[in-house]
Structure 1
Amino acid sequence: MDKLSFLLFGVYPYVAVAVLLLGCWARFDLAQYTWKAHSSQMLAPRHMRVASNLFHVGVLFILAGHFVGLLTPPALYHHLISSAHKQMLAMVSGGFFGVLALVGLTMLTWRRLTNLRVRKSSTFSDIMILLVLLVQLLLGLATIFASTEHLDGSVMLLLGAWAQNIVTLRPYAAAEAIAATSLVYKAHVFLGLTLFVLFPFTRLVHFLSAPVWYLMRRYQIVRQRA
């Protein structure tokens, strides 16, 4: 294992998480009014709500699948399902929800790039993050095709070992585990970590928010008649 691999997959994960946590804290503390998605649904046809729902549902299920799949030790599931069957389940479910997210994101990206009113209300980061997410989804779907070449689940075990070693603060073991995987997996992991870095500085922060503040407000807006 070379030094670059150790830096990218042993050290960079901690840097990405640190930027994510500190960046979100700083933005919420110093710029709360920017903690929103800057919705542009009012500037686009109603069918774009379908695109938004497809994207959000797909991404949420993908994130949940990655969290459970990567961080669950094999000893906890091997008495229920084999590594090969777990990989097949991940390929089918990940493919389904990945396609949902890709269809929704493609529609949203096309709208933001081609709708004049939406484009004028967009910032550089709005467009940039959509394109990065699009590349990441395509890489994720590409890993499904790559997984057909090793249906025994061996690569899934290596990726799981990488994630679990990162969580247990063993960066060298993590970098060694992922070193044996192919480039498409490494690119997918690296870009995923980069999304952690970009998260606090883009519209992605709205994933952490819910409209609970309105339930606790102690005022009422009254509109006077003209």
Structure 2
Amino acid sequence: MSIDYALFGLYPYICLAVFLLGSLLRFDRDQYSWKSDSSQLLRAGSLRWGSNLFHIGVLFLFFGHTVGMLTPHFMYEHFISAGNKQLMAMVSGGIAGLLGFIGVSILLHRRLSDERIRRNSKASDIILLVLLWVQLALGLATIPLSAQHLDGGMMMLLAEWAQRIVTFRSGAVELLAGASWVFKLHMFLGMTVFLVFPFTRLVHVWSGFGTLAYLVRPYQLVRSRKLSLPPGHTTPQRR
């Protein structure tokens, strides 16, 4: 079994299985830990800046990668070419990646440099921040590599790999034969984020998506426990 087949043919399914089943089991068995464990009372200023920059950048990157990688080429080829799509992804993803990288750097420095915060941090908190820091740095490192082939060819291969993985089609691993190790490491760490997701504070992301249900839920009916009484009527009092 080749290392590429293990990492990019089997590992994605292991990560997705752990991501989905692990999240379900944690919600079922350990709901009290389903939170982000905020340390807002300690150095709230740096937390505000770091958290806001990180969330803005990462949320944009998450939805951008999801739509960009999983949308088949025939659905947008009449509106935008592969090369222009790659250029748009490089510019917008570069800005969002830089914001996220600055944000996670602030959060990591805050958690490691302040002794009180470090004492109140779990090992998983620090490991997760380091993982995200490296992942965002690698994402930014892919931009110069993408600039070397602006025809969008490599982007199309990576997108086809992702689409074949999620649709259980064969031939996905072979598409990565010419990909740089930077792309491969970025993809590997991205999958690893999903692998560790159920065991970290990242599970609170599910709650964020769950709040969208409030937009379509029916109105809540509230009825008074007091009976409506006609005017002038007094309620007898017990002596």
Superposition TM-score, scaled by structure 2 size? 0.86
Q: Which residue of 1 aligns with 2:191?
A: 193
Whichever structure has more helix as a proportion of its residues is: 1
Stretches of structure 1 lacking an aligned partner (at least 5 in a row): 217-226
RMSD over aligned Cα atoms: 1.7
Alignment of 1:28-177 (within 5 A): 28-170=27-169, 172-177=170-175
| Structure 1 equivalent of residue 236 of structure 2 | none
**Following TM superposition, where does structure 1 have runs of at least 4 consecutive aligned residues deviating by more than 3 angstroms?**
none
Distance 1:175 1:168 in 2: 14
The number of residues matched between the two structures is: 213
- The 3-state SS of whatever aligns with 1:84 is helix
CA distance in 2, matches of 1:39, 1:209: 15
Q: Hey, what's the Cα distance between the residues in 2 that align with 1:141 and 1:81? A: 23
Give the TM-score of the pair, scaled to structure 1: 0.90
* TM-superposed deviation, 1:168: 1.1
Bigger radius of gyration: 2
The residue identity in structure 2 corresponding to 1:10 is G
The superposition leaves residues 11-37 of structure 1 with CA deviations (integer Å, 9 ceiling, x where unpaired) of: 111110000011101111111111111
Kept after mapping to 1: 8 A contact 2:86/2:155: yes
Q: % of aligned pairs identical?
A: 52
CA distance in 2, matches of 1:155, 1:47: 38
The C-alpha deviation readout for 1:180-221, integer Å capped at 9, x for no partner, is 211111000011111111000011111111486xx99xxxxx
Residue 47 of structure 1, CA deviation: 4.0
1:203 equivalent to 2:206? Answer no
Shift of 1:45: 3.3
Name the amino acid aligned to 1:27: R
* SS across alignment from 1:209: helix
Give the corresponding residue for 2:225. none
Q: CA deviation at 1:48?
A: 2.4
Unaligned stretches of 5+ in structure 2? 215-219, 221-239
